Amino acid sequence: MKSRLGILLWIVTLCQFLLVPLTYLFSRDTNTTGHNRFIVPGLVVVKLKPPTGNLERSSLMGTLVSQYGVEQVEQLFPYQKYQSSAEREVHDLSRIYRLTVPQSSDVEKICAELNTRSDMEYAEPVYLHQTEEIPNDTYYNYQQHLPQIAAEQAWDVAKGDTSIVIAIIDTGVDWDHPDLAENVWINHGEMLDGTDTDDNGYVDDIRGWDWVDGATDPSTGEDGDVEDNDPMDFDGHGTHVAGIAGAVTDNGAGVASVSWNCAIMPLRVGWASPSSSVGAFVRSDWAAQAFRYAADNGAQVANYSAGNSQIILEGARYAFDVGVVIVTSAGNGNDEIGDPLSLASYGLSVAAVNDVDEKASYSTYGEWVSVSAPGGDVGSGGRRDIFSTVFDNRYAWYEGTSMASPVVAGLAGLVKAQHPDWSNADVVFQIINTADNIDHLNPQYAGKLGSGRINAYRAVTEPFFEPDPHIILTSTTIDDAVGGNNDGVTNPGERLSLIVELMNNMGNASNVMINLILDDPSIEIIDGTSSIGLITGLRDLDNNRTDNASDPLVLQIDALALPHRVQGTIQLTADNYYETYDLHFAISPSVLLVDDEELDGEQYYISVLDSLGISFDYWDRNLNNTPSNLSSYSTVIWFCEWTFPSLNDSDRNVIQNYLDGGGHLFLSGQDIGWDLCDSTGTTFIASGGLSKDFYEDYLHAQYILDTSDYSLLNGVQGDPIGHGLSFSVYQPGRDPENQYPDEINPIDGSQSIFNYPNGNSGAVRYGGDYRTVFFGFGGYEAIVEPDVRFTVMGRVLDWLNGLQISHQPLKDTYNFEGDYDIQVSVQSVVQPVDKVELYWDIDSDLPFNEKITMNHTGDGVYEGSIPAQPLGTEIRYTILVQTASGYYAPLIINSFNVEEDVTPPTFDTVHEIANSMSKTGPYQLSALITDNADLGVDTNSVTFYYSSEGVEDSLQMVKGSTDDQYEVTFTGNYSYGDTLDYYLSARDNAVHPNKGISSTYQLIIGYEGFENGLGQWDADSLTWGLEQGNSHSGGYHVSDSPGCNYLPGTNAALTLLSPLDISSADSVDLSFWTRYRLQPGNRGNGYVEVSTDNGQNWNQVGSTIVGIATGWKQIQVSLTDYAGLDEVLLRFRLWSDSTASSNYDGWLIDDIQIVEVVQTGIPEIAAEDAVPDQFYLSQNFPNPFNPETNIRYQLKVRGPVAITIHNALGQRVKTVVNEVQPAGRYTVIWNGESDSGAMVGSGIYFLRMETPGFVQTRKMVFLK
């Protein structure tokens, strides 16, 4: 079952409440992080820019009512008081409002539109965030986490007390729990008299506050109706958190807490959902108000263990500035995506470890994490969870970063109690500085679990020291306003300002300097150093961010710079501090790469685009939300990997607008079809089915099947993208059980690119008013073969932009007097060609020094010339093609030399002769032969040389149907078991011709390894076929039931098409390698059979194949009874009776060999004219072999001969022949025995023949 169903169940359960009136009808948020969150319909939070006054009396109010139907406006922080005008300037919460709009409104769209207004600081939905516990009812010894963090030793030094208050911003607290009641915070300034006695804006808030109001879906018996002064928990999450941080300790009952009796302030901002799959929710606007309440009412620590957003940051930042330590959970996403509060300087973010300090299996991680703490993890091999209090006076084990966070909050309370004069920053620094580094236990997450697992004893015993800075590069901006055309795009010839924004979230940084390092010949650094000076840290958040706008780094782009992605380094130095950051930006980008996934899949795209010379901008969808500027790019590549939602409403709207404007989109990702089209899909449910309309109307694809049975796709013949390509798919980074290649069909004018073996499509393309390429089989990165991935990306980009570019690169030349003419054909069917330019130089460095606009001579042909150059010059050039939409075709840099040719032709591709079961042929070979120089290959010199059994011959090869292709066809009269060695040679047309010789290849007569298909066999199409992988040798073997089990009532044969001619043989042996699983009891048998009457009658040879052989084994069958016949048919037949089980794999066969054997030591032909005219040692047969192999050799004169076998170290292991023999042909057999009589081991051996004046060696392989 798919893990995505967890998401599905949450939404399905919530949607069931459509049957009754609901205040909260949730929709899934578009931001995928370790915290799951949902959007509250009908509510929007906005923060206005100063100096906006009362919103209700402003002109903006009329716009909100008329345009969005705003029904109610509320100040979110109505009782805010400020100590000074400076404080108000920093924390002006009076500008934050909660707007009520009709529940049917598209809240995300409203926020997106409001965020474009100049008077709006931000607008966001009101979120429901899931809490972070993972309930588990497996019980272990309780409170392992306390000795793990050395709490017992710490309590010998310091203990907390109720003067230190830890706010629990959660689902409430069971404040009368016997193990919590004594530590529950009491508001001594408030009286239970129905009034706001302490004038803090809350009536009768004697022990905290409950903001939950109007929630009609809480669990039975839970308070969800009215905001009140009773923060009682019902879910148990908040109570569990409170017990970890501040349970009554040393009271002889229950559990102990890290803080040893610090007070806990219950602040209820969430409730328990009736769905156990969902757990509990907290609401973002209430959480923000709770942070302010905690700060205004004396809390020194606040713990928050759920997702967060911009409005929560407002409340948390306010609390931190007042002096509160803000502790938050990192998340349970098992990824590196942090929530805003975790990423904020003042958020003490906590990852979870198990009880042996290994990262918990669920915990989010990243370089932004502050520390780690025990969070429980039964899932990592039966480890313990965290034991603590829960609702209704009970106790339970939970796990999650929600449990790790209050462990740290409790330690913060303990440290604050020991040092009441310390600031909140001091407390944070002390906890971080005294944690135990656990990178050695988590090498995969080194540097991503904070400074380590917290150590309470060290925190209360080690002296305080000011921490080093920790500076984060938050953004880089390329400004072309002054030295360029101010279009925001980096273009050749522009002078640019590089502005870097930095944030320091630890100790102060002094004497900060920024240095720019670039190794790009297209860019000159005019000013590579910026002086920043001081960047304050956590103690002064108003000044811990800065940039170098007043002293920017300055770059000059060369006027002849080609479009490409620039890679460099920003080096940061300060007193006792050094850091480097990667820098990337694009020159003349025409492609936008949108990363809409959580893993590291972007590297598959970036590496290929860089290799293709494509200049592109990169957009991280998880950090920046939906991109809005797609129209600035000719092509958009958008990849989703395996993320839900695949494309939310905002994404689809932006893509639709882009395509409606004639855009070009390449979209890929696993399960997009399921997510957008299936009735159980995450996005289908959230969109009410509109996502399926987008899928069919814009991608022009019909979703058929969620999980294909196939992992192989084949390109459609003649398709501009798929033709000639085949590949396997596997979504990287995902387990085998999480592979879901969709099957789809093209509709409404689209075409299939790649098909599964069953004929259904895995990828489609559409070319109409816009162009799309959609991969449904998974992400582009799921293509297993790297060379195919590279080819596919280039073809996709060319097709999307309607470009076909053809150019024959210039070769080396001896011409040093005349110009070098260059021609290119450019066919563009989508956009007109804007320009075709030739760049060239002779200095071997980029950028190119010369640029020529090529002339259009008609029919898409462009021409240009490079002036003549002296001998010894290397000339490099490239052709830049740009369409009217701004797309630059992939760049290829070519080079040629002006020099005398001394390089022979090369044999780029030799299509070897397939091993054959035919003794006479015809045998065919083709080769691609090229020369480096412009004079080319001498077509009359291309020769095929071959030899067998000491007989040599040659044939001239002829030109094939394409340039540089040569072919030869020949026949022969060979014996089964003969080997034919061959090679090719060719000369060029140089003044002094150069001769090239290919490698030597081998053809074996009477051998079938199934590497070239089943062309020599008649195979029952319903049964026998090829299987790939786990073969005896090579990549393929044959099976009676490929990919499945054989069926009852099977009677199917694999028959050799051409009959065997063994008329001249004295004896004949057949050998083959096999493995099988056949049902015992005569219900599944394999037979080897021959026929001498053209298939009318068949006779079994050898033993029946029965039972099970899981490993490959060799079987030898004698055909000597049929020697002398010239028409012998051979077949392999599987038979099963009608009652056979269908649970058996059947019969697999590989490496079939037929050998005509001559009696050992006796010349094959005694006639005088048959005496060999040379010495020769044939390749042994079979090879590899087990249990024995035939060794054939020939002598042209009488004399001593030695046939010996040596191991890979050169040591002789066997003397097969050592005697004087007359001239003739001989065959001997070696069974793998050494001279000592022991069997040799599996491996490579060398067969050596030595006679006076002649030595020859062959390699052979013995398999046990």
Q: Which two tokens stand for residue 323?
A: 């002096």
Q: Which whole-number Å values give the CA distances from 285 to 54, 205, 291, 1091, in the listed order?
A: 20, 19, 10, 86
Q: How far is CA 163 from the centre of its chain?
A: 51
CATH number for domain 1176-1262, candidates 2.30.30.110, 2.60.40.1930, 2.40.420.20, 3.40.190.10: 2.60.40.1930
- CA–chain centroid gap for 919, Å, is 50
Residue the block writes with tokens 């607290």: 173
* CB neighbour list of residue 89: distance below 8 Å, 6 or more residues apart: none
Cβ pair 983, 998 in contact under 8 A? yes
User: Is 906-1005 CATH 2.60.40.10?
Assistant: yes
Q: What is the C-alpha end-to-end distance of the chain, expressed in Å?
A: 42
Angle of the 401-418 helix axis to the 237-246 helix axis, nearest 10: 30
- Which tokens is 856 given? 């259009």
Task: Look up the CATH number of domain 149-185+212-219+228-461.
Answer: 3.40.50.200
What is the distance between the alpha carbons of residues 1254 and 1175, in angstroms, rounded to a whole number?
A: 7
Cis previous bond, 274, omega within 30? no
- Contact predicate 455/478, CB 8 Å: no
Show which residues are catalytic.
170, 237, 402
State the Cα–Cα distance between residues 54 and 56, nearest whole angstrom.
6
What does the chain come to in residues?
Answer: 1264
Residue 1096 CB neighbours (<10 A): 8
d(CA 800, CA 820): 33
Predicted confidence at residue 37, as pLDDT, reads 63
Question: Which CATH class for the 471-586 domain?
Answer: mainly beta
Matching CATH topology for 471-586 and 906-1005?
yes
For residue 8 the two structure tokens come to 């599905």
Tell me which amino acid residue 271 is: W
Give the chain's radius of gyration (CA, Å): 39
**How far is 347 from 345, CA to CA, in rounded Å?**
6
pLDDT, residue 140, reads 28
Strand order in the sheet with 923-930: 906-911, 923-930, 965-970, 958-959
Measured between alpha carbons, how far is 562 from 1252 in angstroms, rounded to an integer? Answer: 67
The token pair at 535 is: 């960047």
CA–CA distance, 780 with 699 (Å, rounded to integer): 16
Give the model's pLDDT for residue 1243: 81
Which of 1088, 1066, 1023 lies closest to 1225 in space, CA to CA?
1066
Distance of alpha carbon 628 from alpha carbon 650, whole angstroms: 10
603-801 CATH pick, 3.50.50.60, 3.40.50.1580, 3.90.79.10, 3.40.50.880: 3.40.50.880
d(CA 1138, CA 900) in angstroms, rounded, equals 75
- Extended beta strands in 794-893, E state: 803-806, 820-828, 833-841, 850-853, 855-858, 861-866, 873-883
For strands 1099-1105 and 1084-1091, give the pairing. Answer: antiparallel
Please give, one letter per residue, the 3-state secondary structure of 321-357.
HHCCEEEEECCCCCCCCCCHHHHCCCEEEEEEECCCC
Side chain identity at 11, as an amino acid letter?
A: I
User: Which CATH number is 1008-1156 given?
Assistant: 2.60.120.260
Fold of 804-899: Immunoglobulin-like (2.60.40)
Q: Which two tokens stand for residue 1083?
A: 């219900």
pLDDT at residue 220 in the model: 66
**CATH code for 38-83+90-128?**
3.30.70.80
Give the integer Cα–Cα distance in Å for 776 and 761: 8
**In which residue ranges of the chain is pLDDT below 70?**
1-37, 52-53, 79-91, 129-141, 216-221, 273-279, 379-383, 950, 1021, 1157-1170
Q: What residue ranges do the domains of the chain occupy?
A: 38-83+90-128, 149-185+212-219+228-461, 471-586, 603-801, 804-899, 906-1005, 1008-1156, 1176-1262
905: left (phi over 0), alpha (psi -120 to 50) or beta: beta
How far apart (Å, rounded) are the C-alpha atoms in residues 1063 and 1252?
Answer: 35
Q: What's the Cα-to-Cα distance from 197 to each of 80, 572, 1130, rounded to whole Å? A: 16, 53, 103
Q: What does pTM read for this prediction?
A: 0.66
CA 293 to chain centre: 44
Cα 751 to chain centroid distance, Å, stands at: 27
Backbone φ and ψ for 177, nearest 5 degrees, come out as -60, 135
